[in-house]
Amino acid sequence: MKNAHFLALFFSPIFSFSQIDFSTKTVELGNVKEAYEIRADITVKNTGAKKLYLLKADGEKGIKVFTSKKTIEVNDTALLVISFIPESAGRFSKEIKLFSSAQPDAVELRIKGNLEILKSDDKTACFYFGRPNKPVAVKEDAIVVNKPIEKRDNSNKMPDNSSSPVETKTFVPEPKKKEPIVETTHSKLPETLYKPNNLLFLVDVSNSMKDSLKLPLLKIAINKLIDDVRDIDFITLVCYADSVRVLAENINGSKKEELHTIVNALKARGLTKGRQAIIKSESVLINHYIKEGNNQMILATDGKFNFYSEDEKKFIAQQENNPIVMSVIGFGDDRDAIKNLKEIAEKGKGSFIHIKKKTNLDELLMEEVKERSRRN
């Protein structure tokens, strides 16, 4: 029997003519070999002319629903993460009904698949930064779960985590400009103001990156950047876990559908063995070097990265007369890992962006690319 989890609202918006689009309404996970917790993410986009509000979600007992934001601006996106712990192996089909200000009727979303082996425990899983049942402070206009009649898990929340992230940036000193540059076009990267970009994303896809605040958040940010790059820009995607794999090499920014498909297919799996990932990625980036352009590697990870002195020497030697910038996006709050990643960003003469919570990573990523590609 279904036991609905209601997400109550502290404000009462009038239903508007906003429209809501989903990346999919049914997530087919296929055959899952082994798992303790099943989870899937769906991207929600506001295609209407007004703000969109996520109001409440109904689902079976035990289903947890999280979102990166409850208020979605026009043409903006949010990430929904649906999670549950299966009681046994075998086929599963879980449904939630999502209510929004776009329409009075709920939209049905479903995750389906077949689980071969149910793990008895999953202490190594990393879906949350803290304890799963840790209460989230209720802020004004927050969406929270109504207090149930019977005692049960009360962690099914859509928290408003829109507070500013802890961000640390180390930029290469630039010559002082006589006056600020004013962007006069609608494009975020007008060619008159920003040089061509040769961007390589080096993405950690180890198991710990499954967290909804990590890989899914990064995928949204990269996808939004893809929407804004131009046909003079090129993107390479490299991932690493058990091995280093080049997923897309020097793809033109005009091929947005191809790039979106590759990014959306990124999944976290395996152990982290990334020592050679930087060196290999650097070689690929230099092979497509753009003179008088922004040649930049962006490493995204949540863990300590072994980058020894001999690796640093090889990193510098490979560049010769083709200097590149290596920036780092670091997730989580492991002090040793964060210190290590800061040092790598400094050695790469790039920025370090520290992400500790749900935030506007897409905006930070765009600002980083603009900072590096800005014409003097």
Are the CB atoms for 52 and 71 separated by under 8 Å? yes
**What's the order of all strands across the beta sheet hosting 325-331?**
244-252, 234-240, 197-204, 294-301, 325-331, 349-355
Among 77-91, 122-136, 160-174, 186-200, the range scoring the smallest mean pLDDT is: 122-136
Are the CB atoms for 239 and 206 separated by under 8 Å? no
CATH superfamily of 197-373: von Willebrand factor, type A domain (3.40.50.410)
Banded model confidence at residue 271, pLDDT cuts 50, 70, 90? low
pTM, rounded to two decimals:
0.55
As a whole number of Å, the CA-based R_g of the chain is 22
User: For the domain with range 7-145, which CATH number is right: 2.60.40.10, 2.40.50.180, 3.90.110.10, 3.30.1360.70?
Assistant: 2.60.40.10
* pLDDT tens track for 236-269: 999 988 788 999 999 999 999 999 999 999 988 7
98: tokens are 């999502």
Alpha helices in the chain (DSSP H): 215-228, 256-264, 277-287, 309-319, 335-347, 361-373
Domain positions in the chain: 7-145, 197-373
pLDDT score of 143 more than 60: no
* Cβ-count burial 2-19 (b if 16+ within 10 Å, e if not): eeebbbebeeeeeeeebe
Four-point Cα dihedral 132, 137, 139, 142, nearest 10? 30
**pLDDT given at position 59:** 85
Banded model confidence at residue 223, pLDDT cuts 50, 70, 90? very high
Distance CA(24)–CA(204), nearest Å, equals 25
| Of 252 and 130, more confident | 252
Q: Classify burial at 297, counting beta carbons within 10 Å of its beta carbon; exposed 0-12, middle 13-18, buried 19 or more.
A: buried
